[in-house]
């Protein structure tokens, strides 16, 4: 973590365009920050002007007000410019969020005074290749998933690491995850939980069938290639976004990104494990947390 003192004068609060009640909460947060002498603007995550504001250096910090999906979007927006992001949870789970809807007033004066630390979160870069043509490139905060489409049958995915075959998987899919993503889809399929400050790539199969069924942790410098092969649909999804269709022997190349997400943190380094225990014992997605 870094605890370099920062001056916060211009804040954008970004909200999910369809989340119930979030606009009223955003107004309350803005009014509170304005009493502290900060210039504040509210933007929806799909606001087409927001990326330009960030690129122009018009924003010192972004507050993501919503759930983990809002935080993921905020991380994608801010990471190219090194702008810190603070999450205030308005959703059910909120594992990526630092503050809750009932305690943000306690911490926002510290935010304005620069009394916080920065936790740098690793990102991945995923490239979709077809033969020698690069079709698309993506920045990844949680995970890249190469998996079956609508047909409920496994696909085959060959995985290479630095040009050498790791394994050929017969499974519903194969995940390449950041440490941040280790508590998302990767954890749901039995992968290990990694501290968020690590810089490793986690490979986890989804429902493997008579093939390698263990997760593999790789160093950040590794380059991983996934080659899907199937007689039915195979797709790729980035951070839970809409799937991209893949053809047999397309190549999905995954490596550490030059970008990273800067999370604002107020608590001591042990906060991650306390939050993990709390959420694991009382899963809010099934009504455990009130």
What positions carry a catalytic annotation?
A: 68
Closest CA to 68 of 97, 25, 42: 97
Residue 239 CB coordination number (10 Å): 23
Q: Looking up tokens 């490793």, which residue turns up?
A: 200
Residue carrying the six token digits 């211009």? 10
Look up residue 282 and give its DSSP letter: S
Residue 224 CB neighbours (<10 A): 22
Residue 75 in tokens: 């991380």
For residue 206, CA distances in Å to 110, 190, 212 come to: 42, 9, 11
- Among residues 122, 137, 126, the alpha carbon closest in space to that of 259 is found at 122
């Amino acid at each position: 973590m870094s605890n370099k003192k920062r001056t916060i004068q211009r804040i954008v609060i970004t909200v999910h365009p369809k989340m119930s009640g979030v606009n009223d909460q955003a107004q309350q947060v803005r009014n509170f920050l304005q009493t502290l002498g900060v210039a504040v603007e509210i933007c929806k995550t799909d606001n087409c002007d927001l990326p330009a504001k960030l690129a122009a250096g018009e924003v010192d910090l972004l507050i993501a007000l919503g759930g983990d999906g809002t935080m993921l979007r905020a991380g994608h927006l801010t990471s190219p410019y090194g702008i810190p992001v603070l999450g205030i949870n308005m959703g059910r789970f909120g594992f990526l969020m630092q503050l809750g809807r009932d305690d943000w007033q306690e911490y926002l004066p510290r935010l304005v005074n620069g009394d916080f630390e920065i936790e740098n979160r690793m990102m991945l870069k995923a490239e979709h290749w077809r033969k020698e043509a690069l079709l698309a490139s993506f920045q990844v905060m949680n995970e890249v998933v190469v998996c079956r489409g609508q047909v409920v049958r496994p696909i085959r995915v060959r995985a290479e690491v630095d040009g050498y075959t790791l394994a050929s998987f017969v499974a519903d899919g194969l995940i390449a995850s950041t440490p941040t993503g280790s508590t998302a889809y990767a954890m749901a399929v039995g992968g290990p939980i990694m501290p968020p400050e690590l810089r490793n790539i986690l490979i986890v199969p989804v429902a493997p069938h008579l093939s390698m069924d263990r997760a593999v942790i790789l160093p950040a410098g590794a380059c991983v290639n996934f080659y899907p092969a199937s007689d039915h649909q195979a797709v790729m999804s980035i951070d839970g976004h809409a799937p991209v269709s893949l053809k047999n022997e397309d190549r999905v190349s995954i490596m550490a990104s030059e970008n990273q997400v800067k999370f604002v943190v107020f608590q001591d380094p042990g906060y991650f494990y306390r939050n993990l225990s709390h959420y694991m014992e009382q899963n809010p997605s099934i009504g455990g947390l009130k």
